[in-house]
């Protein structure tokens, strides 16, 4: 019950779902060796992420040339497998040339091949028979090449939207065909993998949701039934999150909803533009920008809010939505990707992505609902996310797939009697 996890940069503040998944597997008795190409130590503030960083082997920590010196002897001792892996890297590089960021052409894929040889070498030394990669981008490319060189099993989890923005450049079909199994975090995500995988590979594409640690979400604080109605938005200030559209919608309800307040948590390249929008609309007294907050700060803001608002243009299935539901808060969210699998009429409002008028109308609908009804919606949202996204349940699903891929006996099964 040993395996490797591989992520390009790990840990990151935005990847707590991977840490939760690994920890859940370890509670079940799995030994998980963390590999990453790079560390983001300077960006880490949570003690749990800092501890996770110390447990992760960062392969490029000492530079690419040192990696080459360590990986090449291993590859040369396996000339047939190394040559097959190299041809695969060059083939994938031809598809990636001129593609999305992080795909790269053949030269970039030669670097991935070297990284794959080093991952394979380390897996052999640590007796790790299987590699699981998160994100169907370059981390899965490295895992696939490592599996070919080292005779290892591999699998991967896709999240979206990056993988589905450039599926050919990321060679999703090739990866799904070669993997022991592949994972999507929603049914929508599975449908996108099915688009690019061969029909014969569809049975190996599984749905395993990202999970929350339910015990970290105590009974929600009561919603305030006096004072302004409060919305909270959480995410990176980038194009795909749609925050400029949210400011536009707030401008449209400025006159008829004078008591509506918005707290926007996050940082990013669009912050100066968003600040300018807020000033131009005269909304400085209604919209608060907090910058990034730690997990405790986010929980505090959710406790003060009446609902989450998520105006995204592209998503997988956002963790902030799960966490808002766990905190007993309904949501106003774009009807994209996996979001409609969680947000229902009983737990929030779905709006067409990119439609400021529809978003403003949803805000008006939210403001008109009594606090008692919002609280009831929050309770239903909490029950739904606890049933659907409990990390222990989801990790157990993943563990069953690992066992099948590694031909381990099912949990609780006698390995001797299992073989007759």
pLDDT of residue 415: 39
Cα separation of 323 and 298, whole Å? Answer: 9
Cα separation of 168 and 217, whole Å? Answer: 40
| Residue ranges making up the domain that contains 69 | 2-211+390-418
pLDDT of residue 418: 36
240 and 250 share one domain: yes
186 and 251 share one domain: no
170 and 222 share one domain: no
Do the beta carbons of residue 37 and residue 66 sit within 8 Å?
A: no
Cα separation of 178 and 362, whole Å? Answer: 44
The model's pTM is 0.92
Do the beta carbons of residue 251 and residue 278 sit within 8 Å?
A: no
301 and 403 share one domain: no
176 and 234 share one domain: no
For 311, the 3-state DSSP assignment is: coil
Find the farthest-apart pair of alpha carbons in the chain and give their distance in angstroms, rounded: 76
277 and 351 share one domain: yes
Token couple for 319: 């963790």
The closest alpha carbon to 262, from 220, 273, 245, belongs to: 245
Report residue 229: phi and psi, to 5°: -80, 135
37 and 103 share one domain: yes
- Residue 368: Cβ within 10 Å count: 10
36 and 84 share one domain: yes
Cα separation of 394 and 392, whole Å? Answer: 6
227 and 271 share one domain: yes
Q: Per the omega criterion (within 30 degrees of 0), is the bond before 161 cis?
A: yes
Token couple for 266: 């996050």
347 and 333 share one domain: yes
247 and 361 share one domain: yes
- Assign residue 151 the CATH number of its domain: 3.40.50.2000
Q: Locate the DSSP E strands across 235-388.
A: 260-265, 287-291, 307-310, 331-334, 348-351
The closest alpha carbon to 310, from 279, 336, 280, belongs to: 336
Interaxial angle between packed helices 356-368 and 243-252, expressed in degrees from 0 to 180 and rounded to the nearest 10 = 60
236 and 124 share one domain: no
Q: What string of DSSP letters covers 285-297?
A: TTEEEEE---HHH
Number of domains in the chain: 2
User: pLDDT tens per residue, the chain (420 residues)?
Assistant: 999 999 999 999 888 999 999 999 999 999 999 999 999 888 887 888 999 999 999 999 989 999 999 999 999 999 999 999 999 999 999 886 555 655 778 999 999 999 999 999 999 999 999 999 999 999 999 999 999 999 999 999 999 998 998 899 999 999 999 999 999 999 999 999 999 999 999 999 999 999 999 999 999 989 999 999 999 999 999 999 999 999 999 999 999 999 999 999 999 999 999 999 999 999 999 999 999 888 889 999 999 999 999 999 999 999 999 999 999 999 999 999 999 999 999 999 999 999 999 999 999 999 999 999 999 999 999 999 999 999 999 999 999 999 999 999 877 654 333 332
Burial level of 376, CB count in 10 A (0-12/13-18/19+)? middle
């Amino acid at each position: 019950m040993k395996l490797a996890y591989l992520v390009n940069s790990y840990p990151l503040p935005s990847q707590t779902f991977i840490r939760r998944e690994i920890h859940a597997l370890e509670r079940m008795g799995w030994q998980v060796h963390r590999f990453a190409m790079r560390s983001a130590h300077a960006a880490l503030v949570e003690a749990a992420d800092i501890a996770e960083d110390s447990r992760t082997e960062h392969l490029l920590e000492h530079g690419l040339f040192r990696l080459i010196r360590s990986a090449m002897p291993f590859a040369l001792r396996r000339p047939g497998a190394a040559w097959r892996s190299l041809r695969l890297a060059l083939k994938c590089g031809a598809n990636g040339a001129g593609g999305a960021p992080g795909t790269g052409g053949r030269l970039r894929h030669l670097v991935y091949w070297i990284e794959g040889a080093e991952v394979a070498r380390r897996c052999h030394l640590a007796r790790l028979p299987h590699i699981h990669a998160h994100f169907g981008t370059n981390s899965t490319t490295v895992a696939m090449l490592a599996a070919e060189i080292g005779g290892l099993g591999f699998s991967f989890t896709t999240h979206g939207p990056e993988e589905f923005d450039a599926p050919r450049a990321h060679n999703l079909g090739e990866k799904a065909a070669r993997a022991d199994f592949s994972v999507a975090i929603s049914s929508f995500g599975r449908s996108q993998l099915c688009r690019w995988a061969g029909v014969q590979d569809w049975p190996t594409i599984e749905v395993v949701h990202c999970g929350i640690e339910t015990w970290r979400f105590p009974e929600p604080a009561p919603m305030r039934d006096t004072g302004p109605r409060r919305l909270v938005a959480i995410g990176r200030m980038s194009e795909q999150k749609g925050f400029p559209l949210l400011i536009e919608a707030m401008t449209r309800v400025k006159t008829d909803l004078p008591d509506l307040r918005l707290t926007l948590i996050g940082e990013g390249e669009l912050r100066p533009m968003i600040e300018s929008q807020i000033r131009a609309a005269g909304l400085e007294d209604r919209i608060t920008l907090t910058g990034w907050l730690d997990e405790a700060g986010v929980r505090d803001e959710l406790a003060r809010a009446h609902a989450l608002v998520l105006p995204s243009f592209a998503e997988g299935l956002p963790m902030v939505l799960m966490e808002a539901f766990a905190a007993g808060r309904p949501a106003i969210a774009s009807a994209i990707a996996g979001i409609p699998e969680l947000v229902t009429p009983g737990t929030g409002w779905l709006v067409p992505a990119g439609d400021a008028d529809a978003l403003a109308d949803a805000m008006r609908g939210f403001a008109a609902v009594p606090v008692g009804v919002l609280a009831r919606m929050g309770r239903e949202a909490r029950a739904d996310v606890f049933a659907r996204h409990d990390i222990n349940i989801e990790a157990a699903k993943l563990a069953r797939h690992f066992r099948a891929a590694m031909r381990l006996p099912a949990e609780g099964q006698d390995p001797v009697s299992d073989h007759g």
